[in-house]
Amino acid sequence: MATSEPAVPAAEPAGLMSLTPRQWLVLLMVQLSTLLFGMTITLANVVLPQMRGALSATQDEISWVITFNLVATAIATPMTGWLANRLGWRNMMLFSLLGFTVSSFLCGLANSLESLILFRVGQGMFGATLMPMGQAILLATFPRHLHATVMVIWGFGAVFGPVFGPIFGSMVAETYDWRSAFFMIVPPGIAAMVCVWFALSDRTERGRTRFDWTGFLALSTAIACIQLIMDRGQRLDWFESTEIVVCAMTGCVAFWIFCIHCLTTPSPFLNPRLLLDRNFTVGTLVAFFMGALSYVSLVLFPGLLHDLRDYPDSSIGLLLSARGCGNWLAFLIIVPFSRRAPRLAVATGLTLQTLAAWEMAQLDINMTGFDVFWTNVLQGFGFGLAYTPMTVLTFTTLPREQITEGTAVFTLVRNFGSSIFISITVVLLVRSTSANYARLSEFIAPYNKSLSFPILPDAWGIETVTGLMRLSKEIQRQAAMIGYTNAFHLVAVVAAAAIPLVWLLRGAPRAP
């Protein structure tokens, strides 16, 4: 009679403690590069007031430091896969980190607004590949049962970069100057390159893949022209300027070439067939709105707190880091919430961002640090709550072979939404401030009896030049505050407009 052998219990999947030294080094390298790129996104926002004074720039001019960096990031991100294939993973990461570190160093040396924008473009182009490459390296290096764990670790790095950027950047800028905030990126950038050299020593193989340069250059030209129109239109009186007209015509021609080329070439830069997938199309549109909400408050608050409330840079950095803290808090509930009701999670996150922006629009000139802190925490929490399930729903019905291409489109649209909306809100701020200053100044006249009341401060007396200058400065502060509240109202409207789109997404298919 045959005896059955006892069943051998299946071995439990090994955990993090079973990782090899090289895998730990890979994890450190990816975390460091992701953290660096995340820091530079928010670091420049905190030192905007210092840079504006040092480079003699206006409010709308200094915003180019942010918008052109985001445009460069958006344009360069879709090239990640092609560059990684042509150069190999190690060479690709070394090339990106070297260019990113050198660009950061040159940003600190810049002595004009034009040179600073140029180096920020380089920073965005070289840094654009760091986050998608880091994610791909982790998924390829670690076993499948550890993917969720390493993605959470990677996510912490992606979140803490925007938190540490304002804190350390503002502290260094206040102790020394704004240039030091860029210089502090250099040492960890060199350390990341050393990690890449040893961690990816076996990832040097190269391939040969075709890249659609016609589509890439046409789309890049169109995006750059749109951004230039938005950034320079206010100063040049829009279409009264020959430069703006030429930019508009060039952009239209470039976009027409891009569309025709995508529809006729067998291997386009961005495949229009992706738009046939309903979830991907709606999700990408929502990503555009989410991108618009990403950084606009980080651009508005430094000028608001520095110019109107005389906050020091270190305090501004701490207050802006609250947004990253809100993102981190969302990590605590996002996994169970998005599994049970992903569309509700996205809608809830957008609703919280609408509420946060609406509360920001209710701030006045006497706002406190706590008012800024809790509204930024709420906005960060809402963004973190909406972004992950929105990304999952966008790609849940897309065929596996199209996910890489879809990710490139998704990232490009999101970053373009960030850059274009920053420009729009800055234009609204500048125009609204000017219009309200003119309107409020109409009341300053000897015939206005309210200006002769005894309760009016002596410093605002209209009989002296000094009094008129002080009164003009106060009117400018009040007009600027109205401009900021109008900008926050626009943010609230954009966040609210994205909520109905969420319900057009199909839910994730249930596992059989």
pLDDT, tens digit, 9 for 90 and up, residues 500-510: 998 888 765 54
- The confidence score (pLDDT) of residue 493 equals 94
Percent of the chain with pLDDT over 70: 87
Count of Cβ atoms closer than 10 Å to residue 241 Cβ: 15
Q: How confident is the model at residue 11 (pLDDT cuts 50, 70, 90)?
A: very low
Q: What is the mean pLDDT of the chain?
A: 81
Rounded CA separation 376/364 (Å): 16
What is this structure's pTM? 0.80
Task: Name the nearest CA neighbour of 73 among 336, 329, 419, 308.
Answer: 419
Whether the CB-CB separation of 88 and 97 falls below 8 Å is answered with no
- The confidence score (pLDDT) of residue 80 equals 79
Q: How confident is the model at residue 1 (pLDDT cuts 50, 70, 90)?
A: very low
Whether the CB-CB separation of 451 and 437 falls below 8 Å is answered with no
- The confidence score (pLDDT) of residue 460 equals 60
Q: How confident is the model at residue 494 (pLDDT cuts 50, 70, 90)?
A: very high
In the chain, the N- to C-terminal Cα span, in Å, equals 41
Whether the CB-CB separation of 383 and 326 falls below 8 Å is answered with yes
Rounded CA separation 89/29 (Å): 13
- The confidence score (pLDDT) of residue 145 equals 67
Rounded CA separation 389/409 (Å): 18
- The confidence score (pLDDT) of residue 361 equals 92
Judged by DSSP in three states, 124 sits in: helix
Where is mean pLDDT largest: 2-11, 404-413, 444-453? 404-413
Q: How confident is the model at residue 245 (pLDDT cuts 50, 70, 90)?
A: very high
**Is the pLDDT assigned to residue 463 strictly greater than 80?**
no
Least confident piece of the model among 284-293, 385-394, 488-497: 385-394
Enclosing H/E stretch for 227: helix 213-232
In tens, the pLDDT along 117-147 reads: 999 999 988 988 887 777 777 767 777 667 6
- The confidence score (pLDDT) of residue 9 equals 46
What average pLDDT does range 13-30 have in this prediction?
A: 72
In tens, the pLDDT along 61-110 reads: 887 888 888 888 878 887 877 787 788 888 888 889 999 999 999 998 98
Q: How confident is the model at residue 7 (pLDDT cuts 50, 70, 90)?
A: very low
In single-letter form, the type of residue at position 107 comes to C
**Is the pLDDT assigned to residue 2 strictly greater than 50?**
no
**Is the pLDDT assigned to residue 202 strictly greater than 80?**
no
Least confident piece of the model among 18-22, 85-89, 261-265, 485-489: 18-22
Count of Cβ atoms closer than 10 Å to residue 465 Cβ: 8
Measured CA distances, 305 to 37, 45, 129, 362, 445 (Å): 25, 12, 33, 15, 30
Q: How confident is the model at residue 456 (pLDDT cuts 50, 70, 90)?
A: low
What average pLDDT does range 353-372 have in this prediction?
A: 91
- The confidence score (pLDDT) of residue 426 equals 87
Rounded CA separation 105/46 (Å): 18
Measured CA distances, 17 to 12, 21, 202, 324, 469 (Å): 13, 10, 22, 29, 68
126 phi/psi in degrees, rounded to 5: -75, -35
SS (H, E, C) 123-149: HHHHHCCHHHHHHHHHHHHCCHHHHHH
**Is the pLDDT assigned to residue 3 strictly greater than 50?**
no
Q: How confident is the model at residue 8 (pLDDT cuts 50, 70, 90)?
A: very low
**Is the pLDDT assigned to residue 359 strictly greater than 90?**
yes
What average pLDDT does range 339-355 have in this prediction?
A: 90
**Is the pLDDT assigned to residue 6 strictly greater than 70?**
no
**27 CB burial (10 A radius; 0-12, 13-18, 19+):** buried
**Is the pLDDT assigned to residue 38 strictly greater than 70?**
yes
Task: Name the nearest CA neighbour of 143 among 20, 28, 31.
Answer: 20
In single-letter form, the type of residue at position 152 comes to V
Least confident piece of the model among 16-25, 95-104, 265-274, 429-438: 16-25
Measured CA distances, 178 to 125, 160, 252, 286, 462 (Å): 22, 21, 38, 35, 38
In tens, the pLDDT along 159-201 reads: 677 677 777 878 888 888 888 888 988 898 898 888 888 887 7
